Amino acid sequence: MRAALWRKALADVRSRPLQSILLVLVVTVAAAGIVAGLGQQRSAAQRWDAAVARANGAHVAFFGATTVPWRRIARDPAVTQSAGPFPVAYGVVLLQGGRKVDLQLRGAGAVRPKVGRPLLYDGRWLGGGSTREIVLERSFALDRGLRAGDRVALQGLGGRADFTVVGVALDVLDCFYPECNTPTGWVVPAALDRVDPERRTRAAALLLRLRDRASSGTFESRILGRYGAGIPTVYDWENTRDDTLGANRFFGAFLAAFGAFLLFAAALVVASSVSTRVLAQYREIGILKAVGFTPRAIALAILGEHVALALAGVALGFVAGGLLAPALQLRVAEILEPAGPSFPLSTLAVALVAVLVIVVGATLLPAWRAGRVPTSRAITQGAAAARVGGASRLARLAARAGLRAPAVVGLKDAFARPLRAGLTIATLTVTIVAIVTTMGFERTIASFARDPAVLGDPQDLVIVPNQVPHAAIAARLAQTPAVASWFTATSRRAAVGDENFQLRALGGDVARSGYVIRAGRTLRGPGETIVGYGLLQRLHLRVGGPLRLRVGGRELTLRVVGWYAESEDTGLIAQVTLATLRRVEPDASPGEFYVRTRPGSDPKAVRAAIVRGPLAGMRVELAEDNLDDFNAFRAAFATITLLVLAVGLVNLVAVTALGVRERARDIGVLKTIGFTPRQVAASVAGGTGALALVAAVLGIPLGVLASRLMLNGVGRAAGVGPGTQVGPTAVGLLLVIPGAVAVGALVGVLAARRAAGAEVVEVLRAE
């Protein structure tokens, strides 16, 4: 008997290939999303950690004044290995194709350092005596299209100097360019004199490995408390890892959530598929019960059939997700060496459990109902045994409203089986939700492009003073009519306990700096701070509350007057006025100038107006957008929408086609009493259009809610915080309704075309 049930299940799969393929397809895509999302996070982290291990990466790296007692720090009992101090030159610019890019030149010998060893990917390391060779950091070289053998020009205070790129190497001290700080170039120490002969921009770098890397925050705070005034820049292995993998972690979680979203769609498709298949097999079920099969055996056979299809989908999804995971690692996949497919059994287990729960849950009720159908009723009435008698309320209302007969018949048939109609509407509703969410995401990204201040980039131009007096720059900006406002930004490292973060001190026109304040207000005077959303959450701060931090070893008590949108360092930034910084560092000077131009002004023209006369040698850069991570999510949203749309349409086609087949006799009767093929097709189109209309009415508000929740999640992960999302336009939402109805009607016409054109005698003979 068991063998007979399995043979029947196999025959059912073969006789209904469209439904079987649909189920396997949906489960495959859902499982692939889960496997790829989890595998992407795991693989990216493993690859980064492996690169850090090969480089013997530093747990802490300090960059600061040459007067700091670096040797004493290197002999600290907590330190096990050190490299340096190395000479570093700032204010160096790489000239390429009319563009100028800041470069940090780090002096190195013919042997790569034993701590934080740069990993060569192209070419070779520096020769011992050549002052014309340079090795470039890999992420920067890839971004600029540079490779070993190219020639580059550097410009510093000593003028222009030409170098030959002899190698490209990965630096694991910081995350990748352009998301993170100034890129690195390695030259022999003597070559630094070619760009900075008077050594006016020199600093030193010390790379350290600790006995306990988990104590890096404590060690960093202790060293900064002692020598902090001379150490403005610190790299911590944990922060670097978080910055490097932050986008990957969220993107992986997003992919896994996408898999879960599709699993929900799969549950609806499975439930609809099972219900439809069971209804179509009522007569067969009745015959099986008549020959001795128990209701339990029949239910188990139906359940086993769909579990087998789901297992096939999980297997395919596991393979597809494992193949996709390495390619979905954003910048990690581009910068590190290519990785092969990853097939961890842990992700297979997660996907398998999730899919089986969904499939079993969606199959049990229809299978149980099928087993309880009375034998005689199932044999004599077949699929009609489950049909709900009479017209639906909607059909009766349509008849009273005087609608034509095809419309009334279509509405009656569409809702004749409430369970099937409900599942179809639910599947289409999920599709509408995905469409509305994508519309909102596209508008949000467009708003970021129009107003980069939402991402913490209010400036249009950035001026790097180098040796130009700040007063001269301020005077030129005051004389330029297209300049709306400007402020200066000076960065320091601050700490609260073991948490270290960036402190940005603003000078100039702070009130019109342009940062988007989400709660509270902007800075007005000394002793106040506004914090990025990431820092607000990390330190559990509140607007109006205190923030006690250390800068350069000195305590500073501030009052949090607001939090603002900031994507740099995922929002782990506190802003104060320059006057506040001078409370603990009296000699702190203004840093780079951030310039905001008037609406309608061309930033390039404004730059040309600023850089003239005595200031012709000053470097002024156009601000670049910070949308790289968001563009990755944009592509993911588009992919999700297309996949969910495909699932919804295929399910609608399958359900409609099976419904038309079940109603073959009804269609024959309709044609007998005078319905034309066009009216038959119109009745089916009216039913599917009505289902799509209900789904659109339900899906639009749910989609608006889902869009808000999803985009708030993206904003929190990026550091800009919630409240940055822009919902779909009212016009766009209204267009969804006729679009959904039109697509639903078209599916109905295509599904009914064959039955509408069949001969009446042939149709009436159909079972």
- The string of pLDDT tens digits covering residues 462-472 is 887 766 788 88
Contact 281, 338 (CB under 8 A): no
Q: Is 226 exposed, middle or buried (0-12, 13-18, 19+ CB in 10 A)?
A: middle
Mean pLDDT along residues 260-272: 66
pLDDT value for 631:
64
Mean pLDDT along residues 29-57: 75
* Residue 458, C-beta contacts closer than 8 angstroms, at least 6 positions apart: 452, 513, 514, 515, 516, 594, 596
Residue 371 and residue 301: Cα distance in Å, rounded? 10
Residue 337 and residue 51: Cα distance in Å, rounded? 9
The alpha carbon dihedral of 245, 249, 255, 258 has a sign of negative
Nearest to 429, CA basis, from 194, 697, 176: 697
pLDDT band at 668 (very low <50, low <70, confident <90, very high): low
The bridge status of strand 151-156 relative to strand 159-170 is antiparallel
Nearest to 157, CA basis, from 188, 185, 125, 193: 193
- pLDDT of 411 > 70? The answer is no
Q: Is 145 exposed, middle or buried (0-12, 13-18, 19+ CB in 10 A)?
A: exposed
Q: Between residues 69 and 239, which one has the greater pLDDT?
A: 69
pLDDT band at 169 (very low <50, low <70, confident <90, very high): very high
pLDDT value for 472:
87
Q: Which of 219-233, 443-457, 639-653, 700-714 has the lowest mean pLDDT?
A: 639-653
pLDDT value for 488:
92
| Continuous segment of H or E residues that includes residue 646 | helix 628-662
- pLDDT of 33 > 50? The answer is yes
Residue type present at position 426: A
pLDDT band at 274 (very low <50, low <70, confident <90, very high): low
Nearest to 549, CA basis, from 527, 534, 533: 527
Residue 468 and residue 476: Cα distance in Å, rounded? 12
**How many other C-beta atoms lie within 10 A of the C-beta of residue 491?**
15
pLDDT band at 692 (very low <50, low <70, confident <90, very high): confident
CA dihedral 140, 146, 149, 151 (to 10 degrees): -90
- pLDDT of 187 > 80? The answer is yes
| Partner residues linked to 559 by β-bridges | 528, 546
pLDDT value for 561:
95
Contact 59, 208 (CB under 8 A): yes
pLDDT value for 182:
75
pLDDT band at 388 (very low <50, low <70, confident <90, very high): very low
Structure tokens at 528: 């106040």
- pLDDT of 565 > 60? The answer is yes
Tell me the pTM. 0.68
The bridge status of strand 517-520 relative to strand 554-564 is antiparallel
The pLDDT tens digits of the residues spanning 473-486 come to 888 888 889 999 99
pLDDT value for 390:
47
pLDDT band at 217 (very low <50, low <70, confident <90, very high): confident
309 backbone φψ class: left, alpha, beta (φ>0; ψ -120 to 50): alpha
pLDDT value for 41:
58
Q: Where are the alpha helices (DSSP H) in 497-593?
A: 533-538, 578-581
Residue 628 and residue 98: Cα distance in Å, rounded? 23
Nearest to 309, CA basis, from 647, 649, 35, 17: 17
pLDDT value for 396:
63
- Give helix then strand counts, H and E, for the chain: 24, 20
pLDDT band at 500 (very low <50, low <70, confident <90, very high): confident
Contact 299, 11 (CB under 8 A): no
Residue 325 and residue 42: Cα distance in Å, rounded? 9
Contact 313, 25 (CB under 8 A): yes
Mean pLDDT along residues 342-358: 78
pLDDT value for 761:
53
- Report the mean per-residue pLDDT for the chain: 78
Q: Which of 77-81, 314-318, 593-597 has the lowest mean pLDDT?
A: 314-318
Output the CA angle 627-628-634, nearest 5 degrees: 80
pLDDT value for 305:
76
Contact 290, 375 (CB under 8 A): yes
The distance in angstroms from the start CA to the end CA of the chain is: 27
Q: Is 525 exposed, middle or buried (0-12, 13-18, 19+ CB in 10 A)?
A: exposed
Q: Between residues 296 and 506, which one has the greater pLDDT?
A: 506
| Partner residues linked to 530 by β-bridges | 562, 575
pLDDT value for 378:
57
Output the CA angle 541-543-546, nearest 5 degrees: 60
Structure tokens at 743: 């697509």
Mean pLDDT along residues 56-64: 89
Mean pLDDT along residues 494-512: 87
Contact 413, 387 (CB under 8 A): no
pLDDT band at 521 (very low <50, low <70, confident <90, very high): very high
- pLDDT of 537 > 80? The answer is yes
Residue 615 and residue 498: Cα distance in Å, rounded? 43
Contact 706, 437 (CB under 8 A): yes
* Residue 740, C-beta contacts closer than 8 angstroms, at least 6 positions apart: 428, 432, 692, 693, 695, 696, 699
Contact 414, 421 (CB under 8 A): yes
- pLDDT of 679 > 70? The answer is yes
pLDDT band at 528 (very low <50, low <70, confident <90, very high): very high
Return the CA Rg of the chain. 33
Mean pLDDT along residues 151-172: 87
Mean pLDDT along residues 159-183: 83
CA dihedral 167, 172, 174, 175 (to 10 degrees): 90
- pLDDT of 25 > 80? The answer is no
Residue with tokens 């929408």: 641
Q: pLDDT above 90 covers what percent of the chain?
A: 14
Residue ranges of E strands in 17-146? 60-64, 79-96, 99-107, 119-123, 133-137
Q: Between residues 100 and 192, which one has the greater pLDDT?
A: 192
- pLDDT of 550 > 80? The answer is yes
Contact 550, 224 (CB under 8 A): yes
pLDDT value for 574:
94
Q: Report the SS3 class of residue 516.
A: coil
- pLDDT of 406 > 70? The answer is no
pLDDT value for 104:
85
pLDDT band at 134 (very low <50, low <70, confident <90, very high): very high
CA dist list (Å): 731 to 326, 435, 449, 737: 40, 14, 22, 11
Mean pLDDT along residues 236-253: 70
Residue 598: DSSP 8-state = P
| Continuous segment of H or E residues that includes residue 614 | none
Q: Which of 228-237, 524-533, 595-604, 694-703 has the lowest mean pLDDT?
A: 228-237
pLDDT band at 712 (very low <50, low <70, confident <90, very high): confident
pLDDT value for 640:
65
The pLDDT tens digits of the residues spanning 635-663 come to 666 766 776 677 677 777 777 776 666 66
The 3-state secondary structure of 178-210, one letter per residue? CCCCCCEEEECHHHHHHHCCCCCCEEEEEEEEE
Q: Between residues 267 and 594, which one has the greater pLDDT?
A: 594
Mean pLDDT along residues 593-621: 81
Q: Report the SS3 class of residue 96.
A: strand
Mean pLDDT along residues 700-705: 89
| Continuous segment of H or E residues that includes residue 415 | none
pLDDT band at 578 (very low <50, low <70, confident <90, very high): very high
pLDDT band at 389 (very low <50, low <70, confident <90, very high): very low
pLDDT band at 239 (very low <50, low <70, confident <90, very high): confident
Segment of 168-172, 276-280, 558-562, 564-568 carrying the highest mean pLDDT: 558-562
Segment of 77-86, 227-236, 436-445 carrying the highest mean pLDDT: 77-86
